[in-house]
Amino acid sequence: MLGTSIEVVQGDITRQGVDAIVNAANSSLLGGGGVDGAIHRAAGPELLEVCRALGGCPTGEARITPGFRLPAKWVIHTVGPVWQGGGAGEDELLRSCYRRSLGLAVAHGIRTIAFPSISTGAYGFPVRRAAPIALGEIARFLTSHATIHRVTMVCHGLDTYRAYLQAAEELDA
Ligand code: APR
């Protein structure tokens, strides 16, 4: 698709040498556990300071900050839906997280970006349902935005990695 690739890797998103990494945050943007905690630990205290000034972020939307001590220049914070069984618009809110994050990346001239598996940890979104939603939305966005050169899905656990690999194969089928 327009020379852009979606890579699926297993690893730690805080160590990705890309222009921007995406954080699976909560609506306060004041940090937490999981990937949010890892990103704040790696970025250092300045990240929390600038996040505090942002005044939060609604579910499905995204905000951008510098990456400070991270290898990545930027952090795009997005707030995924909490899984409530699938009848509360969770799928569309998850799509919105990826779309809005990529939209911010384009607006900031970002060419390489790494995502974690948004909402599939503490927020309980089933990963086998989330993976095709995530990759499908990324692929759809990339068909009309050529400035993004590489999107990497960074999976922390093996089960997540397997789910996204399978979704990537189905996407290319
Ligand atoms: N690199 C990449 N992925 C990671 C890392 C890491 N260093 N650490 C955790 N993950 C993965 C988890 O294994 C999971 O697959 O990120 C995915 C998302 O899980 P969570 O971090 O729990 O995020 P989420 O499910 O969106 O819940 C968000 O958790 O940490 C709090 O403040 C956050 O309240 C918010 C909620």
For residue range 103-133, list pLDDT tens digits in order.
999 999 999 999 999 999 999 999 999 999 9
Determine whether 36 is an active site residue: yes
Distance in angstroms (rounded) separating the CA atoms of residues 76 and 116: 11
Cα-to-centroid distance, 2 and ligand 1 (Å): 30
User: Is 81 within 8 Å of 119 (Cβ atoms)?
Assistant: yes
* CB distance 76 to 21 below 8 Å: yes
Q: Whose CA is nearest to atom 5 of ligand 1?
A: 35
Length of the chain: 173
pLDDT band at 4 (very low <50, low <70, confident <90, very high): low
**Protein residues whose CB sits closer than 6 Å to any atom of ligand 1:** 12-14, 24-26, 32-38, 80, 116-123, 154, 156-157, 160
Look at residue 5 in the predicted model and tell me its pLDDT: 77
- Kindly state the average pLDDT of the residues 45-72: 98
pLDDT for residue 172 = 83
Judged against a pLDDT cut of 90, whether residue 3 lies above it is answered with no
Residue 167 confidence (pLDDT): 96
* Ligand 1 atom nearest residue 79's Cα: 26
Set 12, 19, 36, 159: catalytic member: 36
Beta strands in the chain (DSSP E): 5-10, 20-25, 62-66, 74-79, 112-115, 150-155
Report the predicted TM-score, pTM, of the whole model to 2 decimal places: 0.97
Angle formed at CA 134 by CA 111 and CA 108, multiple of 5 degrees: 25
Which one-letter amino acid corresponds to residue 71?
P
CB 108 within 8 A of CB 74: yes
Q: Indicate whether 2 pLDDT > 90.
A: no
Output the CA 155–ligand 1 centroid distance in Å. Answer: 10
Integer Cα distance of 110 and 112 in angstroms: 6
Q: Computed over its alpha carbons, how large is the radius of gyration of the chain?
A: 15
CA of 23 to the centre of ligand 1 (A): 8
**Pairing outcome for strands 74-79 and 62-66:** antiparallel
pLDDT tens string 130-164 = 999 999 999 999 999 999 999 999 999 999 999 99
CA 57-59-63 angle, 5° bins: 35
Distance CA 142, CA 121 (A): 26
Q: What is the pLDDT of residue 99?
A: 98
Q: Which atom of ligand 1 is nearest to the CA of 32?
A: 32
Tell me the pLDDT tens digit for each residue of 19-55.
999 999 999 999 999 999 999 999 999 999 999 999 9
